[in-house]
Structure 1
């Protein structure tokens, strides 16, 4: 075999080393590129998921904020409705109490007014109502105004208000109707002339006492009435004057 010179051996060894290094370098670059190519979609997908998660979080917070705002508004509306209902209930209760206090019924008249026999009639007026009606007409209010004008100069008085009906309908219905008619008179006089409640004594007699025959239309019209008597206790007034003079 031919002899290879040492110099040639060194050259060949260096070439092998360079080739091997180049192979490793080439292999390393290929591996990095492969990894990069494989991981790039994963990184991109991860970034997309992060963005979607952030968007969903913002949307959830926005929805939650709107929901909380809606709940607060609904609660506020419910509270306002509850307060209005309570106020309405209180007003109704007060109105009921005032209505009860405003009128002393016939069954308590004798016990409430001491010495009722000493009261005498000063004046009276009667107002009429339409069939099955309990609303005052313009003419009826004018009649009541004439009576109201006398109250300022009358001392120690009471107003006896008696409601009546015609004979049409049941007794129970007519008792209720006569009471409603008398109440309409009381409410008008009390509101317009500031009459204290204890001065009213209301009686609903229904169809029990007629002032005209119920056999005719004209007679029935007269029976659909409320009579108001202005009564004054002269004896009590005289006694009060005597006490005042003694003082």
Structure 2
């Protein structure tokens, strides 16, 4: 075999290996972008899945929060309704008491005192002493046995000091008496008439310390119209005879 023939045989033997390597390289170069794209799609799918779960979680949390707020709003609405009902009942009671008070005022001249008491106070004081409470308790013992009664409370002071201040002081003294009677004997407010007279109705002259002490007082009168009603009923009852 000559030299030219040997070279031809060698070239023919090497060519399959060269072509094979070139084919594998080409395949890798063509497949690499596809693999990368697939990986990107996997990552994107995983991200979308996480986003969907996160959105669902937030949505569920928002729904739960909205439901909680709606429940709270319903509870507040129920409470408001109950408070409105209570306010309406109180208003009805007050209106009834006002009507009763108006009727009482119109017939005030028909009320006559059945018992009365006076309690005294220290200088520039409006608190009840033990002696004052004892006097009020003696009067309070008659409340349960007296029908259709009202209580008249007059507060007074001596002439010492400013007139406007004395009016306020006389009212505070009367308020102390009213509070005591209301707390201990459950006297409703519409049965009590408060009058703050200041220094305008002295029982003694203010020229002496003894007189001023007697003027620092609250007069309490238990009044009723039952006696007049009974007299009128008796007068209107036909008299029979044998």
TM-score tier (shorter): 0.5 to 0.7
2:98–2:190 CA contact under 8 A, matched in 1: no
State how far apart, in whole Å, the 2-side matches of 1:61 and 1:80 are: 28
User: TM-score, normalised on structure 2?
Assistant: 0.62
Q: Which residue of 1 aligns with 2:232?
A: 239
Residue 124 of structure 1 pairs with residue 116 of structure 2? yes
Moved more, 236-245 or 73-82: 73-82
Q: CA deviation at 1:39?
A: 1.7
State how far apart, in whole Å, the 1-side matches of 2:140 and 2:20 are: 127
State how far apart, in whole Å, the 1-side matches of 2:215 and 2:160 are: 11
Q: Which residue of 2 aligns with 1:113?
A: 108
State how far apart, in whole Å, the 1-side matches of 2:61 and 2:192 are: 64
State how far apart, in whole Å, the 1-side matches of 2:177 and 2:238 are: 38
Q: CA deviation at 1:71?
A: 3.6
Moved more, 164-173 or 141-150: 164-173
- Superposed CA RMSD: 5.1
Q: CA deviation at 1:146?
A: 0.8
Q: Which residue of 1 aligns with 2:196?
A: 204
User: TM-score, normalised on structure 1?
Assistant: 0.61
Residue 171 of structure 1 pairs with residue 163 of structure 2? yes
1:101–1:197 CA contact under 8 A, matched in 2: no
SS of the residue 1:208 aligns to: coil
State how far apart, in whole Å, the 2-side matches of 1:130 and 1:103 are: 33
Q: Which residue of 2 aligns with 1:162?
A: 154
Structure 1 unaligned regions, length at least 5:
1-14
Q: Which residue of 2 aligns with 1:222?
A: 214
Structure 2 unaligned regions, length at least 5:
1-12
State how far apart, in whole Å, the 1-side matches of 2:38 and 2:148 are: 107
Q: CA deviation at 1:227?
A: 0.5
Tell me the alpha carbon deviations over residues 46-89 of structure 1, each in whole angstroms, 9 at most, x when there is no partner.
Answer: 13422431343144225424642564466467657856875786
Structure 1 residues 225 and 78: CA distance shift in structure 2, 3 A: same
Residue 57 of structure 1 pairs with residue 49 of structure 2? no
Which of residues 131, 139, 142 in structure 1 aligns to 2:134? 142
1:94-113 paired onto structure 2 within 5 Å: 111-113=106-108
Structure 1 residues 179 and 60: CA distance shift in structure 2, 3 A: same
State how far apart, in whole Å, the 2-side matches of 1:179 and 1:144 are: 17
2:117–2:136 CA contact under 8 A, matched in 1: yes
State how far apart, in whole Å, the 1-side matches of 2:172 and 2:228 are: 33
